[in-house]
Amino acid sequence: MNPFNPFNDDHDLLRQSFREFLQHEVMPNVEQWESEKHCDREMFRKMGQNGYLGVTFPEQYGGSGLDLWAAVVIAEELAYANIGGLAMSLYAHTYLPLPLINAVGTEEQKLRYLAPALCGDKVAALAITEPGAGSDVGGIKSMAKDMGDHYLLNGSKMFITNGTMADFVVAVVRTGDGPYDMSVFIVDTNLPGFKAIPIKNKLGMHTSDTAQLFFEDCKLPKSALLGNIGNGFYYIMNNIQEERLIAAVMGWASAEWALFKGMQYAKDRHAFGRAIGKFQVIRHKLAQMAIKTEACKSMAYRAVYEYLDQGSGAIKIISMAKAFVSEQCQDVINECLQIHGGWGYMEDYGIARAWRDARLMTVGAGTTEVMHEIISKLIVDEVRHKHQLVPHRAAH
């Protein structure tokens, strides 16, 4: 595989068909959905029916059985569509809860939840964050108590994508007193005691469904347990690597979209008798944007390669990609808005929407600060492993 072009003919066909799908089904509706702050549930069904939700999942459950680069194709094309909210809802449905069910779910759980989610008949959500616990997963307070023939779930979750739309929620909650004694449950949202309240007044991602969830004496059957009791923290730590990886891919593609928009506007917009792209200050802005975009792409693609080779062991490069791309793509989009001048501040060119939506990247799926903390620990451990510390000779 060419490291500079990892895509084969199947990937190219997938990209072309999905791009045509987006142009037909999404692009004509973007402005209306944005103005109404509407997340279109029907898009999940259309995506699923056309095979775009489960490209990397097993065929026996309705997936396509393709490799991770197929997921990269889908993520990039969603980013190019510049409707971050809908893209996040689709991504949160496919790459957050469903890999957990596929990895550790029973056959019954896969048939009941995974298969209908991949064809878009059911919408899924992953519930980790709480009002007092975000990046610090160890701070989770929600608790499921074993009552013998069932579990009793109480607590709340915050900032849950697809929260009010979901047919089921994959929730990470405490099941013991230890700091990481957690388990994962599949919660049907039609259960008594479940409640979802939409979160409004968001800066961006207007076309995503975001909610606060409440569990009040939710009676869960024993079959709702996903995987083994007490292993929830470790399941999530493994799963979140793919979440951060896809976020990095979408970030670099968003930067490339902005770069293209900036170049196009600089060519078409005239001031002082010539195209503004003829001015050195604008040309240099575009050059810097191009450098940052290429660096983002290289970092994201390297993370994909290492993840394919090492799985969750590629945590360092994935954390680096998430931290670097999320910061740099915002810089590129911000400079593109600047090139657009006053029009960039308006909704007409789409760059204002891209700027709003991209702001979440340094917060979601683990903040940049948390990524830096992970990276710093890993590189210190690597130094300790590779080099023995030699005492300094006493000064004479």
Closest Cα partner for 229 from 217, 216, 220? 220
Kindly name the residue from 76, 242, 243, 335 that is annotated as catalytic: 243
The identity of residue 70, as a single letter, is A
The residues, any chain, with a CB within 8 Å of residue 161's CB and separated by 6 or more, are 88, 89, 92, 96, 125, 126, 208, 209, 210
C-alpha 294/C-alpha 255 separation (Å) is: 9
Distance of CA 368 to the CA centre of its chain: 14
Does residue 243 have an active-site annotation?
yes
Question: So which residues are the catalytic ones?
Answer: 243
